[in-house]
Amino acid sequence: MVPDFLPFRFGSIFAKMAFDSTRVPEIFEGLSQRAWRVLALLASYPNITNAEMSALFGMDTATVTRAVAELKSKGLITTSRDPSDRRRVLNRLTDAGAAMHDRIAPARHARSKRYEACFTSEELSQLHRLLDKLSRHVDAIFLEEWREERRSSPV
């Protein structure tokens, strides 16, 4: 029996899906899995910072920074200062990065369809609604605790 501890269950499922992804390394065209995740995120959210990517993914900033460095060294992304706030460094796909994303994404979507195959279309819709609800709730908890930590930490 699988424990009813939600973080364990999500962690276990994620670990198996992540491992499955590494079994087909040619899908990533030589990118690390973390770099692929950042590349895919930038395809949907151009002009975001490392910190914003970290918050969206729930990845630590050091991991995002390493992925950005890998992608930048391969000419797949560029960085630039935000013209309205020079402290912010924005990341964006290059044409080569967008092309790589467009080559890799179909294989990743096909693998995702394998996981979804156990659900009817109604179940899948319900699952996504529930995951959206859980995601919003977890984000709110995360933000509340982060703000509390910031208030209580010595400056």
pLDDT at 144: 83
Closest CA to 50 of 31, 32, 69, 36: 69
Does the model's pTM come out above 0.85? no
pLDDT at 92 (0 to 100): 96
pLDDT at 137 over 90: yes
The string of pLDDT tens digits covering residues 97-130 is 999 999 888 888 888 899 999 999 999 999 999 9
Question: Contact at 8 Å (CB) between 76 and 99?
Answer: no
Q: Note the pLDDT of residue 17.
A: 83
Is the Cα dihedral 144, 42, 28, 134 positive or negative?
A: positive
Residue 152, token pair as written in the block = 């209580």
Given this model, what pLDDT does residue 2 score?
62
Q: How far apart are CA 68 and CA 54, in angstroms?
A: 11
Say what the pLDDT of residue 81 is: 92
Please write the tens of the pLDDT for every residue from 34-86: 898 899 999 999 899 998 888 887 788 899 999 999 999 999 999 999 888 88
